[in-house]
Amino acid sequence: MANIAFFQIPADNVERAKHFYHTLLGWNIAPTRTPMDPAMMASVQFQDILTGNAKEGTMNMGLLYKRQQTEPIINFVTVDDLDKILAKVETLGGRIMRPKEEIKTVGQVAIIQDSEGNAIGLWEPEPL
The predicted structure's pLDDT at residue 34? 66
Measured CA distances, 53 to 27, 71, 116, 123 (Å): 11, 28, 33, 22
The predicted structure's pLDDT at residue 61? 82
Alpha helices in the chain (DSSP H): 14-25, 38-44, 82-89
| Greatest C-alpha distance within the chain | 44
- Residue 52 backbone class (left: φ over 0; alpha: ψ -120 to 50; beta: rest): left
Residue 125 has pLDDT above 80, yes or no: yes
Instruction: State how far the Cα of 46 lies from the Cα of 34, in Å rounded to an integer.
Output: 9
**pLDDT tens-digit map of 30-87:** 988 766 676 766 778 888 888 777 766 666 788 888 888 887 888 888 888 999 999 9
- What is the CATH topology of the domain spanning 4-125? 2,3-Dihydroxybiphenyl 1,2-Dioxygenase; domain 1 (3.10.180)
* Residue 34 DSSP symbol: S
Q: Would you say the pTM of this structure is higher than 0.85?
A: no
